[in-house]
Amino acid sequence: MKRLASIAFATAIALFLQGCAGWQSALDPKGPAAGELAWLIWFFTGLCAVVWVLVMAALAVPLMMRSRQRAEPLALDAGADNRKLRVVMTAVGLTAVILIGLTLLSFFANRTLAAIGSDAALTIRVTGHQWWWEVRYEDATPSRILTTANEIHIPAGEPVRLLLTSTDVIHSFWVPSLSGKLDLIPGHMNVLDIKADKPGVYRGQCAEFCGAQHANMGTFIIAEPRAEFDAWWNDQLQPAAAPTSDEAKTGEDLFLKRPCVMCHKIGGTPAGGTVAPDLTHVASRQTLAAGTLTMSRGNLAAWIADPQGVKPGSHMPVVDLSGDELNAIVAYLEGLK
């Protein structure tokens, strides 16, 4: 019976701790900034747990002793008073030392975080919108500046500087496995340096309530080896792929004639809207609508046919399309790899 109980307890703890792992966990760090913060979280939690146990013990021991000494409750004992004073002063002194120690640890952790991106070779401007992320890769050569959305590719093992701002309300950029969170504020630029130690996909989430679809404002950091990252950047700089089927060609024509073109840009076509995600290589992304749907033909159709059903309140309007027209536009967008 005892054995069964301990197995059940161990299983419960294991399941509980399972929540601490994965691609969106501050306790499963995959970069130096997140590592520093995770260490700090565990150290603070551990130390505070020890202090809590000691305080509870200090409370429990006199309570138990008092019940035994009830025989002479009013006896005066100057020595005992002095001992009590010493205990209290020691406790106050220890508390001060611990608080100052934790403050210093936070201060030095901050300095470590600030040093991560001091030699960053890559700068990415991330702009928050209700409810998606505009991602712009800066480059000294204007023709190499790249704008995309919602997914941020970075070279693994290299520090990257993110410049964070917003066009509407305050959002907050948070990829827990890689770094702490930082706000995106209209009219203000915040700097966040990140680094992923190894290639992988790390999920991020807007961490500041920003309206109806705050929860559906996800982002993905895709860290890859330098050569793959460079190849990706070069691919993304290319204009959109020309439609390869009649249906896709019809879709392109429809896209350019309908209101889609007012908001979205597709490189190499007259579509040049900038208030919504750039769709030049939309089908190369893993999700749609900032992590709301996985990228697939069916989800593209669902999103275009009923954006308010998928993401109520989003600024994507319903465009009146027949079934054939919808299929054609989906066939076109699906080819934008």
Binding positions for ligand CUA, rule: CB under 6 A = 128, 131, 171, 206, 208-210, 214, 217
User: Nearer to ligand CUA by C-beta: 169 or 201?
Assistant: 169
- What is the smallest separation between the CB atom of 322 and ligand CUA, expressed in angstroms? 34
Q: Which two tokens stand for residue 164?
A: 């964070």
- What is the smallest separation between the CB atom of 304 and ligand CUA, expressed in angstroms? 23
User: Nearer to ligand CUA by C-beta: 116 or 217?
Assistant: 217
- What is the smallest separation between the CB atom of 250 and ligand CUA, expressed in angstroms? 36
- What is the smallest separation between the CB atom of 127 and ligand CUA, expressed in angstroms? 11
Side chain identity, residue 220? F
Task: Give the three-state DSSP class for 79.
Answer: helix
- What is the smallest separation between the CB atom of 194 and ligand CUA, expressed in angstroms? 18
- What is the smallest separation between the CB atom of 208 and ligand CUA, expressed in angstroms? 5
- What is the smallest separation between the CB atom of 131 and ligand CUA, expressed in angstroms? 6
Side chain identity, residue 127? T
User: Nearer to ligand CUA by C-beta: 217 or 282?
Assistant: 217
The Cα-based distances of 319 to 247, 259, 315, 329 in angstroms read: 19, 7, 12, 11
Name residues whose C-beta falls within 8 Å of residue 77's C-beta, 6 or more positions apart in sequence: none
Quote the CA–CA distance of 61 and 212 in Å, as a whole number: 52
Count CA within 13 A, CB hemisphere, residue 129: 18
φ and ψ at 112, to 5 degrees? -60, -45
User: Nearer to ligand CUA by C-beta: 92 or 215?
Assistant: 215
Name residues whose C-beta falls within 8 Å of residue 224's C-beta, 6 or more positions apart in sequence: 153, 154, 155, 156, 199, 232
Quote the CA–CA distance of 71 and 103 in Å, as a whole number: 46
Q: Which two tokens stand for residue 64?
A: 């138990």
User: Nearer to ligand CUA by C-beta: 104 or 212?
Assistant: 212
- What is the smallest separation between the CB atom of 168 and ligand CUA, expressed in angstroms? 9
Residue identified by tokens 């919108």 is 129
DSSP letters spanning 180-192: --EEE-BT--EEE
User: Nearer to ligand CUA by C-beta: 206 or 222?
Assistant: 206
User: Nearer to ligand CUA by C-beta: 42 or 209?
Assistant: 209
Report whether 192 contacts 149 (CB < 8 A): no
Q: Which two tokens stand for residue 269?
A: 């076509």
User: Nearer to ligand CUA by C-beta: 204 or 307?
Assistant: 204
